[in-house]
Amino acid sequence: MIKARVTVTLKNGVLDPQGKAIEHALGGLGFSGVGQVRQGKVFDVVLETADRAQAEAELKAMGEKLLANTVIEDFTVEVE
Amino acid sequence: MKAAVILLPGLNRDRDMIAALTDIAGEPPLTIWQTETSIPDDIGLIVIPGGFSYGDYLRCGAIAARMPVMKAVREKAERGTRVIGVCNGFQILVEGGMLPGALMRNSSLKFVCREVELEIANNKTVFTSAYAQGQIIRCPVAHHDGNYFADAATLDQIEANDQVVLRYANGTNPNGSVNDIAGIINKAGNVLGLMPHPENLITAAHGGTDGRALFESALDLVDA
C-alpha cells in the first residue's frame, strides 16, 4: 500500500475570492501580517500497489482527469 | 426536431426544462438517465438542465461530466447534434472540455437568485437566430458558481470567433464573469452553455416569454 497526497491550487493569475475572504477574516481576528491567502484542496489517496513509479504515474493521471480542473488549477503529487 | 433531456442525480431544474420543451415542441422530450451509453439517432437537440449534480462535490459539474452518458453526448455533439447546457449543465460542459474556460465561485461569494438583463451578443447561431443582434432580454439566474473565467489567450480566441453569445447587460453581471460573459458556444457552433435560465420565461404565466425564442431557434421552429 502506498499513501499519497495530491494538492490542488489555483493557477497564478486566477482570481480567488474565497482566499480573499479568508485573508480579510484573518485580519479581523488580529493577524495583522497576512499578505495574501490562496485556498486549495488536499486529497489523501491510498493505493493498493507497492510500485512507487506506477503510483506516481496513476496519481498524475488522476490529477489531470478528475482531481484538478487544469484550466484553472495546478496540482502536485507527494508519495510517502 | 426531437429533443432529449439528460438526467443526473442532484439536478433540480429538469422538470422545468421538460415542461418548457413540451410546451414549445408540442411533445415531451425523451429523458436519458446518466448510465445510458447511447442516444437515439433521431434526437437533434440534447439539453442538460440545471441543479446540483452530485451535490457539487469536488467542483460543480466535475463528476457528472465523467458519467457514461456524457461520453455519448460528446460523440453526438462531434457529429453535429445540438447541445444546450443551462446553469449546472453549462458547468458540466466546461468540466467535460466541450466548451472552453471554467465557471468559478461568484465574485460576491454569495448564491445569486434574481433577474438579469442579457444582450444577444451573436444572433448568427442556431440558438439565437430568432432574436435580433444586440437585443436585450430578461432572464432569471440562480447559481453560486457562475463566474466565467478563461485565460487571456482563450478569451481573445472566443471573442475573435464570436463565440460569446450572451452577455449580462446594463450592469446586471451577477457573478463577476469576465467580459460579462453569460453564455458561449463551441467553435463548431452546435454546443451552447449559459448560466441564466431561459426555460423559466416561456409562457405568460412565468411573467414573460423572453426565453422561448432560444428553444424555438434550437428546435428549428422559426423561419430564419
Question: By the 8 A CB rule, do A59 and A43 touch?
Answer: no
Residue B192: which domain range? Answer: 2-218
Question: What is the phi/psi pair of residue A16, to 5°?
Answer: -130, 80
The mean per-residue pLDDT over the stretch A7-33 comes to 94
Annotated catalytic residue: which of B60, B87, B117, B144? B87
**What's the pLDDT at B106?**
96
A17 against B167, higher pLDDT: B167
Does B11 reside within a domain? yes
Domain count, chain B: 1
For A40, residues 6+ apart whose C-beta sits below 8 A from its C-beta are A7, A8, A9, A10, A73
Give the global pTM. 0.94
CATH architecture of the domain covering A2-79: 2-Layer Sandwich (3.30)
The mean per-residue pLDDT over the stretch A12-34 comes to 93
> What distance in Å separates the CA atoms of residue B198 and residue B20, rounded to the nearest whole number?
9
The domain spans of chain A are 2-79
Whether residues A66 and B101 touch (CB distance < 8 A) is answered with no
Q: Is B162 on the interface with A (CB under 8 A)?
A: no
Q: What does the pLDDT profile of chain B (224 residues) look like in tens digits?
A: 999 999 999 999 999 999 999 999 999 999 999 999 999 999 999 999 999 999 999 999 999 999 999 999 999 999 999 999 999 999 999 999 999 999 999 999 999 999 999 999 999 999 999 999 999 999 999 999 999 999 999 999 999 999 999 999 999 999 999 999 999 999 999 999 999 999 999 999 999 999 999 999 999 998 64
Question: By the 8 A CB rule, do B47 and B5 touch?
Answer: yes
Whether residues A67 and B105 touch (CB distance < 8 A) is answered with no
Does B209 reside within a domain? yes
| Phi-psi region at A21: left, alpha or beta (left = phi > 0; alpha = psi -120 to 50) | alpha
Question: By the 8 A CB rule, do B54 and B10 touch?
Answer: yes
The mean per-residue pLDDT over the stretch A6-34 comes to 94
Please choose, from the candidates B67, B64, B48, the residue with its C-alpha nearest in 3D space to the C-alpha of residue B56. Answer: B64
Does B42 reside within a domain? yes
Ranges of beta strands (E only) in B58-180 are 82-86, 102-104, 112-120, 136-143, 147-149, 164-168
Minimal Cβ distance to A18: which of B59, B101, B109? B109
Count CB-CB contacts under 10 A for residue B102. 24
**What's the pLDDT at A29?**
96
User: In chain B, which residues have their Cβ closer than 8 Å to the Cβ of A13?
Assistant: 151
| Model ipTM value | 0.86
Residue A20 has pLDDT above 90, yes or no: yes
Q: Is A17 on the interface with B (CB under 8 A)?
A: yes
Q: Above pLDDT 70, what percent of chain A? A: 100
**CATH, residue B43:** 3.40.50.880
Does B43 reside within a domain? yes
Does B69 reside within a domain? yes
The yes-or-no answer on residue B197 being catalytic is yes
Q: Is A14 on the interface with B (CB under 8 A)?
A: yes
